[in-house]
Chains A and B, each alone.
Chain A
């Protein structure tokens, strides 16, 4: 089984890439693939309880929650990036695991494909 990591790095309000990273990950389950999603830099803001793109009439992030639960998709975020963007309260619906920046290199190498979106 190939392990895939979809990495989004752009803000969830102002770009489509956090939503697209999740959409793509969910589309992988028909094959012998194990997708995960890593949110880095500005994309970390997507995990904040207070981030609601729908307030601006944009695509909500909450549409991902059901599928994260159904598929058990692993979501990761970097501790230092949460601090940088002052994300204090994580939305538990993402079930994100926090990793340390110092472990990022080893973490990325544990996947067969790392796809930046």
Chain B
């Protein structure tokens, strides 16, 4: 099954991104394919310069590890990146600057779509 997950809120203010990653991990374990679409302030989580406290989770690093395992893609809204001053050289390896055409394609082709909005 192809699953799309969209997140729209900041990663270290709300915990929707954590929810998205946990759903994705569970789905990947069952053999499903997951695309995470980052929209609005959620795009901040792809900034590879993020340095959380040692005791806290490192979301960019976690996303890298998940992408390395396969069947998991991270798409980032390009306009949302530009708005927030995130340039392609700042984003984590494997994530893809993308946009609404890609979101439309995801919505048209996925079997399930989950939207997380705080």
Contact = CB atoms under 8 A, between A and B. Distances in A.
B53 interface: no
B107 A117 contact: no
Contacts of A4: 107
B59 to A, nearest CB: 22
B103 A116 contact: no
Interface string B84-116: 000000000000000111011101100001010
B117 interface: yes
B1 to A, nearest CB: 15
Chain B residues touching A, range: 10 to 19
B66 interface: no
Given A30-B101, A31-B107, A115-B6, 6 more contacts: A24-B100, A31-B104, A115-B113, A116-B115, A116-B117, A117-B8
Given A2-B107, A31-B107, A33-B108, A113 B113 contact: yes
Nearest to B117: A116
Given A27-B99, A113-B113, A20 B40 contact: yes
| Interface of chain A, main secondary structure | mixed
7 contacts: A27-B100, A30-B101, A31-B101, A33-B104, A33-B108, A113-B107, A117-B117
A24 B103 contact: yes
B104 A30 contact: yes
Interface in A1-35: 2, 4, 16, 20, 23-24, 26-33
Q: Which 7 A-B pairs have CB atoms at the shortest separation, nearest pair first?
A: A27-B100, A31-B108, A31-B104, A28-B104, A115-B115, A116-B117, A30-B101
Interface string A92-109: 000000000000000000
A100 to B, nearest CB: 25
